[in-house]
Amino acid sequence: MTKDRSLVHIALYAALIAALGLMPKFDIPIAAGIPVTAQSLGIMLAGIMLGPVRGALAVLLFLFVVALGAPLLAGGRGGLGAFAGPSVGFLVGFPVAAFVCGLVMRATRALPVFPAALAAAIGGGVIVLYAFGISGLALMAGLDLDAAARAVTVFIPGDLIKAVAAAMVAQSIARGLPSALISRT
Amino acid sequence: MISAYISGGGFLHRLPAGAKLAGLALTSLALLPVSDWRVMGVVLVAVVALYLPLGRAVLPTFKGLRPLLVLAALLLAFHIYLGTAEAGWLAVLRLFAMVLMATLVTLTTRMQDMLDALTPALGPLKVVGLKPQRLALAVTLVIRFTPLLVGLGLVLGEAHLARTGRRGNLRLVAPIAIQALRTADRVAEAIAARGGVDGVPPEARPRGDGPLRRAGPDDEDT
């Protein structure tokens, strides 16, 4: 993989994360009508498709553009204010989540794409991401860890749906454009 | 350009981006250990006062903060339910003070100035191969690709709606990604043909004084 192709792919997944957060069509309505956007689906896909290092770089690039002032976070938020809010733990966890997704994808080379990607998405995009998100919420909102964990449990079913969706998308892309599964080459 | 920047000539606009960022970081760190809600309230009032010179232009930004208001209300209710109402008020006041301060820096700093201020801070990353011009190109590509992908999503969504009578939702992500990846390979070839990611030295660039003031690469290639 050339430097040029590598950089363009990293930028493309950073843009995909942004686009998935901006498209209101992708809101998944779950109980209590809490809108769950597809932004974390993009995080999972970046790690699954690009592998640990490039996946994490794509997420860091996305966060960097957000910090520069582009309103690319879910619901059109952006700028430095996003990094001072209660969901900062999730933002800090995003690149780590993508990294873990890529690691799991690499470790499960022997498996077909769908189960490997599902394991990666749940491991990185749900378990690791929530560990960061809950710690951040506890710190920013003055809650203890237990209370912070209870406060975010409503979002977990939505993210499990997104993990399944990420695995299905990864499988479709791997079928339609096998060279795009950079994490396994 | 997608940016929250508001043009103006006030004190905060004239302050260098680096100074604003350093000030923001220090004040945010100083606010974390404050445990008296009255002190936090005074800080919040002072931050809001800094918005006054910006005038009516900030109203859309404040509207964008509505989700935060809902979140703060939920947070406060949760604290009251746990019997820690005072800690709840403190957390909510601190939340608004920190978010409004950070937003103020974004509103008064151009993206190009922010990029220029942040690039030296990322200098140590040169060890792992991150060159400033690569970062600038990558930022430009993200800003160019994002509307492209949203547009692709709208087109494919309409086609799906016409075929099936239902909205495609998550079913559209794979086709969007595949089409975008094909485009990405063409963009990579175009960059390679122009000398690669490190190929063109900054002084040889045709016009403009920064990547965000130049047109995106291959604008016609959409």
pLDDT in tens, B161-178: 899 888 777 788 899 999
Q: Which letter does DSSP use for residue B202 in this model?
A: G
Domain region containing A116 = 3-184
Q: Output the pLDDT for position B200.
A: 57
> Between β-strands A35-36 and A28-29, what pairing exists: parallel, antiparallel or unpaired?
antiparallel
| Residue B156 in contact with partner chain A when CB distance is under 8 A | no
* Facing residue for A19 by CB, picked from B91, B150, B184: B150
CA distance A139 to chain B (A): 9
A-chain CB neighbours of B137 within 8 Å are: 7
pLDDT of residue B214: 47
Quick one: pLDDT at residue B106?
87
Q: Are A25 and B167 in contact (CB under 8 A)?
A: yes
List the Cα angle A112/A117/A122 in 5-degree steps: 140
Residue A91 to residues A18, B125, B216: CA-CA distances in angstroms?
13, 20, 27
Among A16-25, A151-160, B197-206, which is the least confidently predicted range?
A: B197-206
Q: Kindly report the nearest CA distance between residue A107 and chain B, in angstroms.
A: 23
Q: What is the CATH number of the domain that holds A23?
A: 1.10.1760.20
B204 vs A76, residue with greater confidence: A76
Report the alpha-carbon distance of residue B182 to residue B222 in Å, rounded. Answer: 11
Q: Which pLDDT score is estimated for B154? A: 85
Out of B84, B109, B197, name the one closest to residue A3 (CB).
B197
Secondary structure letter of residue A125 according to DSSP: I
Report how many domains make up chain A: 1
Give pLDDT, residue A75.
Answer: 66
Give residues 113 to 172 of A whose Cβ lies within 8 Å of B.
Answer: 140-143, 147, 151, 165, 168-169, 172
Return the residue of A nearest to B115 by Cα.
Answer: A68
Three-state secondary structure call for residue A36:
strand
Query: Rounded to whole angstroms, what are the CA distances from B85 to A134, A183, B42?
Result: 20, 48, 19
- Residues of B in Cβ contact (< 8 Å) with A38: 170, 173
Q: Where are the domains of chain B?
A: 11-121, 126-213
- Facing residue for A68 by CB, picked from B65, B98, B114: B114
N- to C-terminal Cα separation, chain B = 17
Q: How far is CA B55 from the centre of its chain?
A: 22
Place of tokens 């220029």: B116
Q: Which pLDDT value is given to residue B72?
A: 83
What angle (nearest 5°) sits at the alpha carbon of residue B95, between those of residues B91 and B99?
Answer: 170
Chain A contact present for B153, CB below 8 A = yes
* Span B16-57, pLDDT tens digits: 988 998 888 888 888 878 888 899 999 999 999 999 888 888
Distance of CA A83 to the CA centre of its chain: 16
At A164, the pLDDT band (50, 70, 90 cuts) reads very high
Average pLDDT over residues A132-136: 93
- Of B31, B9, B4, the residue nearest B105 (C-alpha): B4
- DSSP letter assigned to residue B56: G
DSSP state of B220: T
On whether any CB of chain B is under 8 Å from the CB of A41, the answer is yes
pLDDT tens-digit series, residues A32-67: 344 566 888 999 999 999 999 999 999 999 999 988
pLDDT in the model for residue A2:
82
Q: How many CB atoms lie within 10 A of CB B16?
A: 12
- Is the pLDDT higher at A118 or at B214? A118
List, for residues B107-117, the tens digit of each pLDDT value.
898 888 888 88
Q: Which residue of B has its CA nearest to A163?
A: B170
Q: Which residues neighbour A42 within 8 Å (Cβ) at sequence distance 6 or greater? A: A13, A16, A17, A18, A19, A20, A21
What single-letter DSSP state applies at residue B127? G
The predicted pLDDT at position B219 comes to 44
Query: Which of A5, A10, A14 has the alpha carbon at shortest distance from A73?
Result: A14
Residue B199 or residue B139, greater confidence: B139
What digits encode the pLDDT tens for the residues B123-148? Answer: 777 776 677 778 888 988 998 898 88
Q: Give per-residue pLDDT as tens, B66-100.
A: 777 877 888 888 888 888 888 889 888 988 888 89
Instruction: Return the pLDDT at A34.
Output: 46
CA B58, CA A79: separation in Å to the nearest integer? 14
- pTM more than 0.95: no
pLDDT of residue A129: 94
pLDDT class of B2 with cuts at 50, 70, 90:
low
Q: Residue B211: what pLDDT?
A: 57
Checking if the pLDDT of B201 tops 70, the result is no
Give chain B's mean pLDDT: 81
Handedness of CA B185, B188, B192, B193 (dihedral sign): positive
Strand, coil or helix: A85 = coil
Task: Indicate whether A113 pLDDT > 90.
Answer: yes
Torsion of CA A18, A20, A25, A30, to 10 degrees: -120
Query: What's residue A11's pLDDT?
Result: 95
Distance (Å, whole) CA A93 – CA A108: 22
Residues A182 and A141: beta-carbon distance below 8 Å = no
B14: exposed, middle or buried (Cβ count in 10 Å: 0-12, 13-18, 19+): exposed
Yes or no, beta carbons of A61 and B187 under 8 Å apart: no
Examine the pLDDT at A95 and tell me if it is beyond 90: yes
- Residue A51, pLDDT score: 94
Question: CA-CA distance, B26 to B21, in Å (whole number)?
Answer: 9
Residues of B in contact with A75 (CB under 8 A): 67
Spatial distance between the Cα atoms of B11 and B97, rounded to a whole number of angstroms: 20
Q: What are the φ and ψ backbone dihedral angles of B60, each rounded to 5 degrees?
A: -60, -35
Compare B117 and A127 and report the one with higher pLDDT.
Answer: A127
